[in-house]
């Protein structure tokens, strides 16, 4: 955590922002932002004891609720169900989601965030189990996509596998 009290103390003592950044340690930009914001709020050293670094962070840089934009979240149950079908991709579902948002006049998620929420949902549902086996004793094949075919070389008969 940034040491806001120390930055303000050194700033009030007249140290340069570059020297503050070297002694705290933090970046020059952080030292400058904290010092400038402390000047704006007319904070002077010594600070009251109840001004901890956490309290100073909230005072200097309050989280404004107005700056957060509300974006429409996709229907994750629908997305999960559709992704299990052959030929359905995240990109295709995102395109459908974009169109749905545009028709409703709402702001959509970008593709990276759309994929992030899909991944987070899958992490919650993912169940794994380790099976101990001797090498070469068993073979498991996981077919994804369209089924494979075996063609009998004598008869030419096609068999789905």
pLDDT of residue 143: 67
The number of angstroms, rounded, from the C-alpha of 75 to the middle of its chain's C-alpha atoms is 18
Q: Which two tokens stand for residue 138?
A: 């068993």
Predicted pLDDT of residue 68: 52
Supply the pLDDT for residue 67. 45
pTM above 0.75, yes or no: no
pLDDT (tens, 9 = 90+) of the chain, 161 residues, equals: 789 999 999 999 999 999 999 999 899 999 999 999 999 999 888 888 888 888 888 888 887 644 455 788 899 999 999 998 988 999 999 999 999 999 998 999 999 999 999 998 888 887 777 878 888 888 877 767 777 889 999 999 998 87
Q: Where are the domains of the chain?
A: 4-64, 76-124
Strand partners of residue 149: 160
**Rounded Cα gap, residues 68 and 71, in angstroms:** 9
Respond yes or no on whether the N-terminal peptide bond of residue 145 is cis (omega within 30° of 0).
no
Tokens coding 148: 């494979």
């Amino acid at each position: 955590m940034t040491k806001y009290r120390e930055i303000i103390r050194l700033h009030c003592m007249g140290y340069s922002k570059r020297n503050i950044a070297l002694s705290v340690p933090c970046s020059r930009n952080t030292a400058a932002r904290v010092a400038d914001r402390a000047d704006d709020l007319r904070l002077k050293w010594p600070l009251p004891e109840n001004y901890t670094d956490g309290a100073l962070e909230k005072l200097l840089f309050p989280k404004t609720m107005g700056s957060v934009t509300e974006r429409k979240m996709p229907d994750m149950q629908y997305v999960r169900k559709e992704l299990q079908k052959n030929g359905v991709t995240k990109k295709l579902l995102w395109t459908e989601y974009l169109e749905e948002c545009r028709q409703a006049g709402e702001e959509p998620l970008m593709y990276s965030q759309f994929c992030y929420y899909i991944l987070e949902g899958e992490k919650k549902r993912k169940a794994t189990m380790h099976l101990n086996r001797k090498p070469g004793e068993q073979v498991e094949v996981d077919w994804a996509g369209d089924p494979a075919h075996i063609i009998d070389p004598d008869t030419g008969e096609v068999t789905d596998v």
